[in-house]
Every structure is written in structure tokens, then in C-alpha cells.
Amino acid sequence: MSKLDFLELSEKFTRFADAVRANRTGCDTRFAQVVHDRLIEVLESHARSCRQAVGLERLLSTETDPDTREALEDRLGFCVSDLESGGGGLYPWHLLDAVERDHDYRGNWHPIPEWMTVGDEHLNGLGVIIKQIADETGIKFTTYLCDYHIGPEGAANMDPEIYEKPIGSSTYH
């Protein structure tokens, strides 16, 4: 990422979190609600990182001690890394992380097989918001599901434990 306007990004993430929250009220499945909740959590985290970065930039603008400047720059780098890598070393953010019972596609982002793609019909309009987030912020999110139970019926035949508490994911426990 080039020079970031952290204040502007923070405002965008906050605005998108509000839009996702409003969209969530129309969710007709637990699956869609869970994906909405995860996106809200990530957007709020990104907004916090951006606000922290704004404070660090202010401190850097007046700090003269080389050691303190280096420490502040390192902390600022962590904020940028959080935005670039999704905070866990993976890019893009995967909202259904660790739901990989049948295949392992972690790190293999292109192309995601069509049968793994969770369509917007199962996300109650969230796909449009996810695209807007990518267009306006450069931060991308995926909503693929490594399970054959997703399809025209959505997650209807899937045990909610699969997507509510993904195996091996410390993020959503």
C-alpha cells in the first residue's frame, strides 16, 4: 500500500460496518447472520487499526529520538500489515476461515472452484457490500466454503457448528 489516509479509511470502515449491520436485519438464515457478524468484527478491527495509526503518525511528526521513532514506525507498520494481510498473514480476509473439511485451498486464492463459492443469494445482499468495500478501500474479502453442503439450499443441511466455530480457527472461537 502506498501512503494511506488512515483517518479516511477508518471512516470508511466504520460506515461499511454500519451498512453491514443494517443489512443484517434482513438476514433470513443463521448462516448469513454469521457471515455478517464476522465482517462487522473485521471492519471494526480495521477501523481501530486506522485510528491507532493516526495517533502514531501524530507522534512521529514531533518525535526526535531515533529509537522512539523506530519503535513508533514499527508499530505503524503493524497497522499497515493488519490492513494488507488480514491480520493473520492471509490475504484476502476469508470470512469463513478454516471451514475446509473437504479440500485445502488456503493460500490458493485463484481460481476458487465454482462449487465452493457462496453466492449472494445465501448472503442476503452482503456480496454487494463486500464488492463496494474492495472498490473503495482495496481490502478484499472472500466467502467461499469448502463443503459440498452449500448450494441452492444454502447451508440448510449443514451443522451450524461448521460455520459458527470453524475448526482450527482462533479468530472465531
Residue 80 pLDDT level (bands cut at 50, 70, 90) = confident
pLDDT, one tens digit per residue, over 54-64 is 999 999 999 99
Q: Considering only CA atoms, which of 6, 16, 13 is closest in space to residue 77?
A: 6
Q: Mean of the per-residue pLDDT values for the chain?
A: 77
CA 103 to chain centre: 21
**Contact status, residue 73 vs residue 57, Cβ threshold 8 Å:** no
- Cβ neighbours of residue 15 under 8 Å, at least 6 residues apart? none
Do you know the residue count of the chain?
Answer: 173
DSSP state of 55: H
Assigned C-alpha cell, 170:
482462533
- Cβ neighbours of residue 87 under 8 Å, at least 6 residues apart? 45, 81
Q: Where are the domains of the chain?
A: 6-164
pLDDT, one tens digit per residue, over 126-169 is 999 999 998 998 888 888 766 555 555 566 566 666 666 655 54
Segment 67-83 shows an average pLDDT of 90
Residue 54: what pLDDT? 94
Distance (Å, rounded) from C-alpha 116 to C-alpha 128?
18
Look at residue 77 and tell me whether its pLDDT is greater than 80.
yes
Can you list the alpha helix ranges (DSSP code H) found in the chain? 6-24, 30-62, 66-85, 126-137, 160-164
Residue 151: what pLDDT? 52
Distance (Å, rounded) from C-alpha 85 to C-alpha 102?
25
Residue 15: what pLDDT? 98
Residue 137: what pLDDT? 87
Look at residue 109 and tell me whether its pLDDT is greater than 90.
no
